[in-house]
Structure 1
Amino acid sequence: MKKTGKTNSAMRRFILTLLFLTVSAITIAACGSEGDTTTGEDGKLVVTATTGMIADIAAEVGGDRVSVTGLMGPGIDPHLYKASQGDVKKLDGADIIFYNGLHLEGKMGEIFEKLENSKPVVAVSKYIDESLLHGNSSVAGGGAHDPHIWFDVKLWMSAVEVVRDTFKEKDAAGADYYETQAAAYLAELEELDAYATRQIAQIPEKSRILVTAHDAFGYFGEAYGLQVKGLQGMNTMSEYGSKDVSKLRDFLVENEINAVFIESSVSSKSIESVIEGAKELGHEVKIGGQLYSDAMGDPGTVEGTYIGMVRHNVDTIVSALK
């Protein structure tokens, strides 16, 4: 009888343990179904973005409900960027990955493909109508588009909507919060767009010619009424030669352009060769200032935000060309 009692007791413990594990599994599954779980220790969505401009959107829209990491810091050229092992770890540990798309992060394409089956890997350019995109003849075979969409503030507003909608889908409990955050930020971008239009209009029409090291400002020029010339193509991977230097030099001389601009993420050596060439022909050209093209400024500075970056560029261009 004692043996039977021990057996029954052991059986009861086994059944209770099995029931506990079953209930725990059901509870975990139920929690996961409510807008998805987050991996952050503080319960926040863990977000990894490629460029600083995208990370800035995620931080503005996500607010207190997200933890954002940007891979590419100040002075980094995304066209040439290769992900480090640390970057891969950040991407792997994220709940959501945001990237620009349009081949800006061309060297990271395979990484995105491997991760998109396990988590949202979202191109912030996906809402933009293809008819609004500029072609990119500098890419072998053609057919690609200019990826520098952030320089038309109205186009970049669609990126904010992509981030907002992705957050709402991943974290349904915070949907109203993301709507409110996005609406406030979009209002700021409306003001930024109006500011750029108003300031650029102060430049005499004949002087509205923007010359830079690489052709990153096509959307900016179209949006705000500037003719744009770049020594390199839209992608800094494209080569330039002495003919390109001579052609741009002659353009400066013929159009009596007195100021060109360097970029924070591109070597100034190329544009300096154009300046020197113009000088040999008796035409003085100065560097009108440094613009932020493919990367923002240092964290903690005004230029370390998207709005601050655009305002800096606008003010620098107007000051030099006005």
Structure 2
Amino acid sequence: MRKQFIMLIVALTLLNCKDESKSNGKLNVVTTTTMITDLVKNIGGDAINVQGLMGSGVDPHLYKASEGDVSKLVNADVIFFNGLHLEGKLVEVFEKMESPTKKPVALSETLDKSKLIGSDYFASNYDPHVWFDINYFKQFAKRVTQVLIEKDPNNAKVFTDNEAKYLAELDKLQKDVQGVVDALPRKKRILVTAHDAFNYFGEAYRFRVVGLQGLSTATEAGVQDVQKLSNFIIDNDVKAIFVESSVPRRTIEALQAAVKSKGQDIKIGGTLYSDALGDAETIEGTYIGMYRYNIKTIVSALQ
């Protein structure tokens, strides 16, 4: 039924939508997650119109397209999404509307699959949270630039200049993050969160990462998961556990209660941004700001 509904919505939208493509001379670009929206805005600047489907705190694993979303997608010149089944429920929409002149761009397709983190428990067999490796996010930036130039060669210099500036900012971010991480002893680098969103971060900065839920928040944590992780926390003398902005707080609170019931105190070290950025008007509403906030929150709580 869900697939039939999507096909109907796409068909009706294609019939009824006016082609607003380049209505003001600029490319109309639609993005999925807040991380990709921020990236595309940095590369495209004032030369493009950007509409992000997902807002702050929105879980992409569970996101369902509305009729308004389908309208935006149909009228887009370019569509960028993460891929690797992160936006699982949107892929059906992409497939129904794909044509020779409009193919949504999965930014993860630019990555070397042999270097990605695999999983036996997720549909794609790859961890989709690749943006937590800044090197991968740089590859995203290069792919966005390439596609925008293909679609609008007249603004090629704008896109390449913006790309160079943004890549320099990402270089500085990497250097600064490494400096903060170096202050935390290796034995304290254990990151316990609501779900497995930080494996690429852990691989890049030598953290042991443990999530209460799996790679997708569609998988609920059970009592046995909570008990097993509470024992791990006690055995490894973990100082803090973390809430995620796009995952209900109750999962981590249940874990905290389980640890305390066994006679050991454990604090909630703060809220981390995982599958979505913070509010648009805040520092955490940008990829770079989110990353800086996360690393300071993690290291401060675990020291």
1:233 matched to 2:218? The reply is no
Assess if the C-alpha contact under 8 Å between 2:20 and 2:75 holds in 1. no
Assess if the C-alpha contact under 8 Å between 1:296 and 1:306 holds in 2. yes
Secondary structure at 2:110's aligned position in 1? coil
Aligned pair count? 284
Q: Following superposition, which runs of at least 4 residues in structure 1 exceed 4 angstroms of deviation?
A: none
1:84 matched to 2:66? The reply is yes
TM-score, normalised to structure 2, is 0.91
Secondary structure at 1:107's aligned position in 2? coil
What amino acid is aligned across from residue 68 of structure 1 in structure 2?
A: V
What amino acid is aligned across from residue 85 of structure 2 in structure 1?
A: H
Residue 268 of structure 1, CA deviation: 1.2
1:111 matched to 2:93? The reply is yes
Which among 57, 60, 74 is matched to residue 42 of structure 2?
A: 60
Q: Which runs of 5+ in 1 are unaligned?
A: 1-36
Which among 60, 75, 83 is matched to residue 101 of structure 1?
A: 83
User: What does residue 194 of structure 1 align with?
Assistant: 175
1:172 matched to 2:172? The reply is no
Matched-pair identity in % = 51
Q: Which runs of 5+ in 2 are unaligned?
A: 1-18
Secondary structure at 2:89's aligned position in 1? helix
Which among 289, 295, 298 is matched to residue 279 of structure 2?
A: 298
User: What does residue 123 of structure 1 align with?
Assistant: 106
Which among 310, 313, 317 is matched to residue 291 of structure 2?
A: 310
Structure-2 separation of matches of 1:281 and 1:300: 42
Assess if the C-alpha contact under 8 Å between 1:60 and 1:185 holds in 2. yes
1:269 matched to 2:247? The reply is no
Residue 91 of structure 1, CA deviation: 0.7
Secondary structure at 2:109's aligned position in 1? coil
Residue 38 of structure 1, CA deviation: 8.2
What amino acid is aligned across from residue 257 of structure 1 in structure 2?
A: V
What amino acid is aligned across from residue 139 of structure 1 in structure 2?
A: F
| CA deviation profile, 1:11-62 (whole Å, cap 9, x unmatched) | xxxxxxxxxxxxxxxxxxxxxxxxxx98233211100000011011111000
User: What does residue 57 of structure 2 align with?
Assistant: 75
User: What does residue 135 of structure 1 align with?
Assistant: 118
What amino acid is aligned across from residue 82 of structure 1 in structure 2?
A: K
Assess if the C-alpha contact under 8 Å between 2:30 and 2:79 holds in 1. yes
CA RMSD of aligned residues (A): 1.3
Assess if the C-alpha contact under 8 Å between 2:83 and 2:108 holds in 1. yes
User: What does residue 22 of structure 2 align with?
Assistant: 40
Assess if the C-alpha contact under 8 Å between 1:95 and 1:120 holds in 2. no
Secondary structure at 2:79's aligned position in 1? strand
Secondary structure at 1:110's aligned position in 2? helix
1:159 matched to 2:140? The reply is yes
Which among 192, 213, 232 is matched to residue 211 of structure 1?
A: 192
Q: Which has the larger radius of gyration?
A: 1
